[in-house]
């Protein structure tokens, strides 16, 4: 379960984590009233995805008239498939520095990991890639949590020693929240250092492990109506699908193979639009359904199908591809890589239908990236 920003901040506030004053509103007139009460504000789209600022979903307003205008611009816009139905009007902060504090699961270490960075306000993955020295990590014992000396060490390793007195209780409170809500991810980004020297959670994220939802039946997050429409449709079709931010649709069988295919697309200079696993033993109808789903995504400029046949048969997959391209009148570039059980039959069927399978997964990824660039132009 994911939560909207204001829902996360309600929990931060209850736990003693400082957050700006704010109100959730659903009309431009309500935004003007909020600005009248709060003064200069930030008007922030409430959708459960990142990248709101780049999409124009976060704007400043210094007067009630400004607030009415920008709220009118934001309400109703679509951000990564989500229609903005409400905005958070929040007291504008005089920020002098942006930090990052978060917790997630480190599956390799089989422990939670606390992450603190002197560089916030951007995706922590981007910081890890461009400035890895700016990130400090702590793997606390999951039974006893972080000890005081471990937290102090984390803070000093992040180069934030002068803020140790303020950061220590925040780290402890964030860890406690993560335990309380069985969080897969919880983060404050940016954790803002304000002109008066205080630390404020300027934005927040919380995602609860679905396997622990039986312990949180009273919680209401970003409800089903806020779910990504394509992900909701994939659930209805019983497909394992996650929307990503690229333009190349990817279909594979088996999570590992699909992940590997995403990496290949990235290495060849493209970006995947999704993760879609049709699973083992998929019949032609499943392949057809998967292709139909991706073809309905306007962000998709080309589709790569990567199949390794074990219990999945190449001829079944080929029939699904051929039927879908005919029924959907598919005009998007399509590249198929197929190997394994009944590979020869599958490749023959595809070639007879005018689809020449790639000789390798790498070649397939390279080809779809090339074709998609031409399609997008």
The catalytic residues are: 100, 187
- Could you give the residue ranges of the DSSP H alpha helices within the chain? 5-15, 28-38, 64-74, 124-130, 148-157, 164-180, 229-236, 255-267, 284-295, 314-327, 343-352, 361-376
Tokens at residue 238, please? 């019983």
Tokens at residue 126, please? 């981007």
Q: How would you class 185 by CB atoms within 10 Å of its CB: exposed for 0-12, middle for 13-18, buried for 19 or more?
A: middle
Angle at 196 between CA 192 and CA 197, to 5 degrees: 60
Nearest Cα to 181, choosing from 212, 140, 139, 220? 212
Angle at 227 between CA 273 and CA 213, to 5 degrees: 115
- Which residues are CB-contacts of 317 (< 8 A; sequence separation ≥ 6)? 282, 284, 287, 305, 307, 309, 338, 346
Cα dist. 4→11, 13, 187, 204, 348 in Å? 11, 14, 13, 9, 49
Report the distance separating Cα 71 and Cα 89, nearest Å: 9
Cα dist. 189→26, 203, 244 in Å? 24, 5, 21
Nearest Cα to 25, choosing from 12, 11, 35? 35
Do 339 and 307 touch, CB atoms closer than 8 A?
yes
Task: Give exposure, 3-22, as e/b (b: 16+ Cβ within 10 Å).
Answer: bbbbbbbebbeeeebbbbeb
Do 203 and 190 touch, CB atoms closer than 8 A?
yes
């Amino acid at each position: 379960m994911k939560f909207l920003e204001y829902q996360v901040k309600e929990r931060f506030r209850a736990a003693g984590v400082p957050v700006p004053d704010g109100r959730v509103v659903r009309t431009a007139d309500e935004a003007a009233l909020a600005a009248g009460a709060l003064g200069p504000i930030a008007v922030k789209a409430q959708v459960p995805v990142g990248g709101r600022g780049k999409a124009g979903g976060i704007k400043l307003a210094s007067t009630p008239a400004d607030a009415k205008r920008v709220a009118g611009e934001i309400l109703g816009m679509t951000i990564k498939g989500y229609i903005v139905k409400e905005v958070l009007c929040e007291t504008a902060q005089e920020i002098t520095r942006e930090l990052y504090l978060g917790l997630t699961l480190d599956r390799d270490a089989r422990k939670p990991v606390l992450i603190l960075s002197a560089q916030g306000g951007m995706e922590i993955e981007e910081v890890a890639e461009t400035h890895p020295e700016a990130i400090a990590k702590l793997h606390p014992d999951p039974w006893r949590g972080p000890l005081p000396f471990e937290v102090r060490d984390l803070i000093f390793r992040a180069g934030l020693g002068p803020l140790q007195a303020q950061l220590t209780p925040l780290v402890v409170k964030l860890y406690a929240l993560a335990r309380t809500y069985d969080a897969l991810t919880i983060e404050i980004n940016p954790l803002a250092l304000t002109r008066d020297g205080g630390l404020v959670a300027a934005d927040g994220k919380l995602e609860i492990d679905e396997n622990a939802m039986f312990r949180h039946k009273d919680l209401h997050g970003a409800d089903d109506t806020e779910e990504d429409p394509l992900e909701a449709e994939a659930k209805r079709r019983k497909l394992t699908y996650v929307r990503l931010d690229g333009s190349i649709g990817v279909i594979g069988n088996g999570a590992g193979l699909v992940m590997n295919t995403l990496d290949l697309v990235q290495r060849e200079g493209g970006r995947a639009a999704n993760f879609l696993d049709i699973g083992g033993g998929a019949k032609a109808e499943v392949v057809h359904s998967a292709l139909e789903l991706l073809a309905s995504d306007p962000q998709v400029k080309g589709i790569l199908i990567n199949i390794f046949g074990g219990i999945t048969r190449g001829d079944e997959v080929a029939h699904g591809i051929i039927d879908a391209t005919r029924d959907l009148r598919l005009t998007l570039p399509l590249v198929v890589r197929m190997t394994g059980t009944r590979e020869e039959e599958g490749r023959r069927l595809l070639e007879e239908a005018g689809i020449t399978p790639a000789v390798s997964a790498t070649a397939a990824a390279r080809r779809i990236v090339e074709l998609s660039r031409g399609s997008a132009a």
